[in-house]
Amino acid sequence: MMTLSIGRDALKTPATVRDREQKTLRAGFIPLMDASILIVAAELGFADQEGLTLDLVRDVSWANVRDRLAFRQFDIAHMLSPMPVASMLGLGSNPSPTVAPFSLGRGGNAITLSARIFEHMQALTGLADDAGALATAEALAAVLADRKARGEMPPTLGMTYPFSSHNYEFRYWLAAGGIDPDRDVKLVVVPPPLTSDALAAGAIDGFCVGAPWNMIASERGTGRIVAAKQDIWPLAPEKVIGMRPEWAEANAGTVSRLIVALDRAARWCDDPAHRDDLAEILSAPRFIAAPRDIIRRVLDGEFSLDARGTKRHIPDYFLFHRGAANYPRPNQALWIYSQMMRWGQAPFGEAHVAEATAAFRPDLYTAALGPEAGLPGPEEAAALDTFMDGRRFDPSDLAAYVAGFPVRSPALAGMGTDEG
């Protein structure tokens, strides 16, 4: 496990050392709304104010982002929150140590099923249009049982990456409804911008992905949004800024200045008065290249769940700064590790607990912003560990926590492979 020695005096690095540090940072991102903070830091001058230049590079898949960070083509990257955890555990086809000193906020994911499957769920179970996440998962379980009895193939469901919040949230939702994600459905990797098209083409029967691709599918009439991230793990970290530990060590002052710039950008993004401007920025072809009006409505948490006009409002669908949204909380890295154990991607071990914990770096965050910056309050801390089935995460005994789930992989010691 690699560690860093950056302290709270990083901003006081001698000028001769600072002059040697990197000032132009090549930053990879995927066209999703949770890249907003990084994009705004570059576009509105927050990075410039800290003497930094962010060279943003739009990429097509999380595997590409991971590899380009590992191979020094990127200095920092917009990453799925489980990616640094997987990297520190040595998981995947190209594991390279990665740390996350800043979370890019909470929210943004949703689960969408094909309109055909949702209609089957309603016809079979009488599912209401406003049914909650647990009820929709149970209705899908009934449909799967009916399809199996008819000799039909299990549905194919897309998620963005094996070590992703989408994978673990999708699996959590399915399992809460009594569905075994490894036996009752077929989970495949689909890059985020391709999910809506894949659903429309019939290549997949549903997906879990970040905004705005769920709403694009629902507005096309091909999909029905059945659950949001807030329904599953309400205050989960979604994306983070990832970087190589040795790069962070060599550029301690730059890391602190980057965090200051990102903090200012996060505050700007969280202000409702800026949503029109943010939607305009994000809709540009070089960023998300999606309709501005859809992005604007998603920022407000206003959803068209299907083509019939069924609506849902999710307050704070995106939290860019408030509620300790940027603080990289080690307990959240441990929950991610628990799900890797649950689904057979990683074994339990005290050394692995330490490696997973080291992926999220609150010390680098507080070195830049101060020791009290971004800390969750008591109510927030309690809510951070509450899930859709009423379970509370207990990091003190990970093995017992995982064993307590009735639906889990029988092969808890498998290391898993990367398919994305």
126, 144 in Cβ contact below 8 A? no
Q: Is the pLDDT of residue 8 over 70?
A: no
pLDDT top residue among 376 and 37 = 37
Q: Is the pLDDT of residue 225 over 60?
A: yes
pLDDT tens-digit profile of 228-283? 998 998 778 899 999 999 999 999 999 999 999 999 999 999 999 999 999 999 99
Q: Is the pLDDT of residue 337 over 60?
A: yes
pLDDT tens-digit profile of 36-82? 999 999 999 999 999 999 999 999 899 999 999 999 999 999 999 99
**Residue entry with tokens 């339990």:** 348
330, 357 in Cβ contact below 8 A? yes
Give the domain ranges of the chain: 10-106+237-288+319-376, 109-235+291-318
Give the bridge partners for 114, in sequence order.
Answer: 223
pLDDT tens-digit profile of 96-116? 999 999 999 998 899 999 999
pLDDT of residue 378: 65
Q: Tell me the pTM.
A: 0.90
Domain covering 109-235+291-318, topology: D-Maltodextrin-Binding Protein; domain 2 (3.40.190)
Q: What is the CA radius of gyration of the chain?
A: 21
pLDDT tens-digit profile of 206-218? 999 988 999 999 9
pLDDT of residue 410: 80
Assess whether the region 10-106+237-288+319-376 and the region 109-235+291-318 belong to the same CATH fold.
yes
Amino acid, single-letter form, for residue 192? P
pLDDT of residue 420: 44
pLDDT tens-digit profile of 133-155? 999 999 999 999 999 999 999 99
Q: How much is the average pLDDT of 20-40?
A: 96
Q: What's the pLDDT band for 6 if we cut at 50, 70, 90?
A: very low
pLDDT of residue 415: 36
Domain covering 10-106+237-288+319-376, topology: D-Maltodextrin-Binding Protein; domain 2 (3.40.190)
pLDDT of residue 299: 95
The pLDDT mean for the chain works out to 90
Q: Is the pLDDT of residue 345 over 80?
A: yes
